Structures are given as structure tokens and as C-alpha cells.
Structure 1
Amino acid sequence: MLSKQGLCSRTVATRWVLAGRVAVHGRVVLNPEFPVPAQDLGSVSIDGRALRPPEGVYLMLNKPRGLVTTTTDEQGRETVYRCFDGAGLGWIAPVGRLDKASEGLLLFTNDPGWAARITDPATGPHKRYHVQVDELPDAAVLRTLETGVDCDGERLQATGARLLRSGGRNAWLEIVLAEGRNRQIRRLMAACGLRVLRLVRVAIGDLALGQLGKGQWRRLEAAEITLLAGIDWSPPAA
């Protein structure tokens, strides 16, 4: 319940409850799964203070390559939270993920409900990527990326795949995904005989990365927040 209100992560909320810091109607609750109806949130207190959900925070970050998308890392690698050092944003969580070697548009919020709408394949926006591969794929390969391949028991496919530009030994493709699966683009490319050299997420729905510098972030405007949480989505034009 505390994490759903954007006050902290689920792990921290569980720790607070087990430590006896959370009360409902003045009685300490020790069960992290104790149900509290949304209309009854005013009865919850932490360390004797009434629960007051924080103001919503909605951000976009241009994730640099080499950072992992997690709050802490057991291997001691640098995380995306390095980009927010000193910003005083309170608890925020990434909306979806980009792996360590990937870069580009990554959203953050303290609003779990909003995040769920965006990451839900049924309601969320398409994601657009620019992908550099190690050779020039022909039309048949681009069709295969869209029709899909079976990979480790999963059917992987792109909603859209087109050639952006090519050089002597490599090419840039635009790939559109309707949902995000673990390393989906890299696995899909490998199944088609292509090796990914760079992978940049450039847009989520109509929200484009634009000119935001590497490692920089900004708050989303009200219209962007509403638009991203919409239902009627179409893939970007090919």
C-alpha cells in the first residue's frame, strides 16, 4: 500500500511495517499485505504522522550507455540513479528498463499506477529504437523482423522494422516494439544473424528523446503525462 502511493519502494515499505513504524487507525500493523482501501488512506500513519502521499514526479532521462537500470547493484556497477545525484527528488522508480549496453529514453516516476499503464502491453504506447547492426540487412531480413522468429520458446517480433541509413559495413535500423521483453531486440537481431553495435530508444509513443543531452533529465509537462497514460495508441509511422 505504501509503495502504491509512491512513498517508497516495496522493499522499504515492508521494512517499515515489520519494524512497527506503520499504524492503521492508531493500531500498529505488522503485516506488509494488510489491506487498506483507497478511501481509507487517511487512517494510515508512519512514525505517528498521518500518511500524505507526495506530489507526483514524472521524469524523462537520456540514459547513457554503461549504467544499469536499478537502485543498487550487487556487482558495484554504476546505476541510472547517478544521473539524479543532488536533485532531491525523493523515491522514484524506472518505468520499464534499458539494459546496461543500451541508451536513450527512460522514464521515472513515483506513481506506480501511471507506470503500470505505460508498461502494460494492452494499454501502453509503442517504443521506437534506432539500432546499429554489423551488416546491411536485405528486405527479406526486415520482413522476418516483423513476422517474427521463435527464440527460446518465445515468439519475438517487431511491430515495425525499416532501414534508416547504411555505411560500408553496418547499418542503422528503426525498430518499433509493442511490448518490452528481456533483451528482445538483441535476441531478435541475433536470431536473424545480426549483431547489435548500438541500441538507442528514441521515443515512447509520441514522446521523443529530442535534444536532451546524454545523462540529462527533465520533468514531463502535464500534457505529456496525460498523453503517455492514454489508451488509443498507434505505432509511429514507418
Structure 2
Amino acid sequence: MNSATRARPPRHGLARVLSKRGLCSRSEAARWIAAGRVSVDGRIVRDAEFPIDAGRRIAVDGRGIGDATRVDRVYLMLNKPRGLVTTASDERGRDTVYRCFDGARRDGKEIGWIAPVGRLDKASEGLLLFSNDPQWAARITDPAGGPDKTYHVQVDAIPDEALLARLLEGVDADGERLSAKAATLLRAGEKNSWLEIVLDEGRNRQIRRLLAAFGINVLRLVRVAIGGLRLGDLPKGQWRELSAAEIEMLS
């Protein structure tokens, strides 16, 4: 073996590089690659073992991931507007939450690849986290140990104390037990009211399905807090970085 061969930097498969970058597991990376979500030097690559060495430009969903050997962690919060889909791309051409990050820069550089931490459906709004740290994200979305999520919900009814208690007791719907950890009447008008509902687990459209089981329709749903992190006065459609204390608080 000559010296030029010995000096050649190591090459790794594309899926392994994405995994070591901390974006996802190797099996998840392989699925992304097979789905055409990953490009190398501007060209879509569908081979999970495609060899990668230094200097190659890798992007997921069109967003560069930076140097695979250097992990620059990003933790952001967004005030998600109503009408945006929480996904990187939509097969029906609908606007996604990534629209809010168009041209976004951090320390003078493009943010790069980030993923939503949990979800909000198209009709919902409010606090949505983003990060490129999958381990941190997994702790937040863990149904057993993750932080509570708090929502302010406008409904087309004025629930009494008995109905609020039944929301805590829960109901069986579509083979799942749906319930709230807490439910409080915030204010009421003649026909509509606002509730504060706290969930300690996340199921698909959980609040809407829970209330529908009691004949109540949701008019507006806003997530206002995740654990001790509150949405505050962050303008709709705007984002900011989390402080070190906020990151630790949610971990």
C-alpha cells in the first residue's frame, strides 16, 4: 500500500453519514434516501451506501446539513400560523411550516436542516419546536416522560363543570382512550367559550376527537406552552432560538 492510498480520508455510506451527523437513525436515513429526500452535490441519491468523503455537499429536503463531522445543534421555537402543514414537503402542494424559515439565517449562516419536534395539524396554531438534535426531540415527544402540552381552545359551546370533569375521565374513540390531564374554562360568551386543556400524551388530533365525542366542535386551537416554555408574545409566523436554560428545562 503506497503513501497516497494510506493518506486517503475514510469514506462512509450516505446513510451512516446522516446517522453520525445526529439527524436520525441509520434505518431512518435509508428510508429518507429511498424516498428521494437526500441529495449529494445537488443530485438526488437513492443508494444508502453511496460513498461519501470530505467536501461533499449533502442536503435533506433541499436544506444543507453542513459538515458531517461537525454537529452545530439548533433549537428553535415557531409561532405556527393556521393553514400550514407540519411536514417538509406536501404531495398536494400545500404550504408547509418551512415557509416560515425561508431565508432564515443564524450567526450569519443558513440554518440548515431542522425537523419539527412533534406536530400541529393544519388547522392548529401556536408553539412548535424545531431542532436538528434527534435525541433531544425524542425526549420531548416521549409519551411517557415528555413535558405536558398546554392549549387554548375556542369551542362552540359553554361546558359546565360536569363536562369538564368528563374530559378528564376520558372516552374511548376509534380504539383509543382519549382524555385530558386538565381542563379549565377560561372565558365564555353567549354561544362560544375558550378552554385551557393540558395533555400529557400526544395522539393524532386528540383534543378535536375528545371534544367531538361530547358533541363539541373546535373553532380555534392554539398551543401556548410545552412544559415550562410558553409561546409568549412571539408574533405569528416568527421564530426565535431557545436559550440554554430553555433547552435544559425541556430535556
* TM-score bin (small chain): 0.7 to 0.9
**Alignment equivalent of 1:22, drawn from 51, 75, 99:** 51
**Alignment equivalent of 2:77, drawn from 28, 39, 60:** 60
2:191 is equivalent to residue 191 of structure 1: no
Letter in 2 for 1:95: V
Assess, with a 3 A threshold, how the Cα gap between structure 1 residues 108 and 3 changes in structure 2: closer, same or farther. farther
Q: Within 5 Å, which residues of 2 pair with 1:109-148?
A: 109-148=131-170
Assess, with a 3 A threshold, how the Cα gap between structure 1 residues 169 and 154 changes in structure 2: closer, same or farther. same
**Alignment equivalent of 1:5, drawn from 3, 21, 39:** 21
Query: Could you say which residue in structure 2 is the equivalent of 1:70?
Result: 87
For the residue of structure 2 that corresponds to 1:113, the secondary structure is: helix
Query: Could you say which residue in structure 1 is the equivalent of 2:68?
Result: 51
TM-score by length of 2: 0.77
Give, in whole Å, the separation in 2 of the partners of 1:120 and 1:61: 20
Give, in whole Å, the separation in 2 of the partners of 1:113 and 1:148: 31
Structure with more relative contact order (C-alpha pairs < 8 Å, separation 6 or more): 1
Give, in whole Å, the separation in 1 of the partners of 2:182 and 2:51: 48
Give, in whole Å, the separation in 2 of the partners of 1:206 and 1:48: 38
Per-residue deviation, 1:3: 4.1
- Give the number of the structure whose alpha-carbon radius of gyration is greater: 2
Structure 2 unaligned segments of length 5 or more: list them: 1-15, 39-44, 59-66, 105-109
Give, in whole Å, the separation in 1 of the partners of 2:171 and 2:48: 49
Letter in 2 for 1:168: E
Q: Deviations over 1:185-232 (max 9, x none)?
A: 000000011100000000000000000000000000011111101xxx
Query: Could you say which residue in structure 2 is the equivalent of 1:227?
Result: 249
Query: Could you say which residue in structure 1 is the equivalent of 2:188?
Result: 166
Letter in 1 for 2:223: R
**Alignment equivalent of 1:85, drawn from 95, 102, 105:** 102
Per-residue deviation, 1:22: 3.2
Assess, with a 3 A threshold, how the Cα gap between structure 1 residues 70 and 3 changes in structure 2: closer, same or farther. farther
Assess, with a 3 A threshold, how the Cα gap between structure 1 residues 132 and 3 changes in structure 2: closer, same or farther. farther
Question: How many corresponding residue pairs?
Answer: 209
Identity between Structure 1 and Structure 2 (%): 66
For the residue of structure 2 that corresponds to 1:18, the secondary structure is: coil
Per-residue deviation, 1:159: 0.3
Q: Deviations over 1:56-96 (max 9, x none)?
A: 00000000000000000011000000000001210000000
For the residue of structure 1 that corresponds to 2:77, the secondary structure is: strand
Structure 1 unaligned segments of length 5 or more: list them: 24-43, 230-238
